[in-house]
Amino acid sequence: MIHILIGTKGQFIKTIPVLQELEKRNIDYNFIHTSQHYDITFKILKIFNAKSPDYFLSSKKNDLENIIQAIPWFMSCLIKGVNDKKNMWKNKKGIVVVHGDTESTLLGVILAKLSGMKVAHIEAGLRSHDIFNPFPEEIIRIITSRFSDYLFAPSDLAIDNIRKYKNQKIYNTHGNTVFDSLSYIKKITKKNPSKKPYKFLYAVASLHRKETLYNRKLVEKAISYIEIASKKNHIVFILHKNTLFTLKKYDLLFHLEKNKNVILKKSFLDYLSFMELIIDSEFVITDGGGLQEETYYLNKPCLILRKKTERKYGLGETACLSRFDGDEINYFLNNYREFHRKKNKEEIYNPSKIIVQKLIEEEVLIQNQKNKAY
């Protein structure tokens, strides 16, 4: 049995192509939801026409907004997973597939190992080489790499970062699974083209990473740069729940509400609507690694409000890593049209297909070893 254990918006977007590939091949799988993000993930499932989860590690029905909520959620999921492992795993051993570097990733690794299961890690090998940037993601990556059995790395650089692990099998997926998701989204938009969201030119801003939001100085810097950008462009600022919570906490929200050139999107945008917004924008301002990859695929200029990034996509082409340096940021804002992908062709690989093929091969190998043992 292949078990898929995920729980965040990003994990759903990037792992659903793997689920779609499993279904294409009529391969049964056990879909476990940690409910780290609940509302938003069900809307993502609907867009991709994917099946509902088979098992929920948490009964909560709302998305986590801050660390105060995250700690009891994590512990309750861990306890339930240990006490109810027969139902969670459907009484079947196999490979537990986890993704990325979130608390749900760590949960999956711990619960799989406590149950004597093998772990496959999608998006393995990403490293900033600084445990505090991003935190705790970098630590979760290291732990996951150490205890996984199969590492699916999206690039040669990612493979170089995990080559030291000798007991794990490492596979190059030649791209991130988000490219498969974007390919699916582009097919939908071609079939059902929507109206342009705004008649005027605009840029999109998004902040959500913990190392940004838990550091008041970084939040204030990020907001100041968004306001600078708004002097020349309208800014559509996507407010995640944790971002809205932080802006209220630091009394920064009212500054943005008074800015006529900043459009605050407090209501939920599904992934399809969000990508359509990105496609029609002039450029993107973000602290997220996912948008760094998505804007690379879409050939859209992207300003990264981070000190370091573990991803190579777009750097030197579509993406500008600001390091919170004012000169770098001002250069991007004044010259964003220079930031584009030098190669016009899109990714030709299908990372999800590579992952599923290797999972099948490993499952067969495991079963053959068991049969020989008998």
Reply yes or no on whether 340 is catalytic: no
Cis peptide before 136 (omega within 30 of 0): yes
Question: What sign for the dihedral angle of Cα 15, 20, 26, 29?
Answer: positive
Q: Active site residue: 208, 234, 255, 340, which one?
A: 208
Beta bridge partners of 2: 29, 95
Q: Tokens for 116?
A: 């004597």
The count of residues in the chain is 374
**Distance of alpha carbon 325 from its chain centroid, rounded?**
25
Please state whether 49 falls in left (phi above 0), alpha (psi between -120 and 50) or beta.
left
The DSSP secondary structure of 167-227, one letter per residue, reads SSEEEE-SS-THHHHHHHHHHHHHHSPPPPS-SS-EEEEE---HHHHT-HHHHHHHHHHHH
Instruction: Kindly give the pairing relationship between strand 150-153 and strand 2-6.
Output: unpaired
Mind telling me the catalytic residues? 208
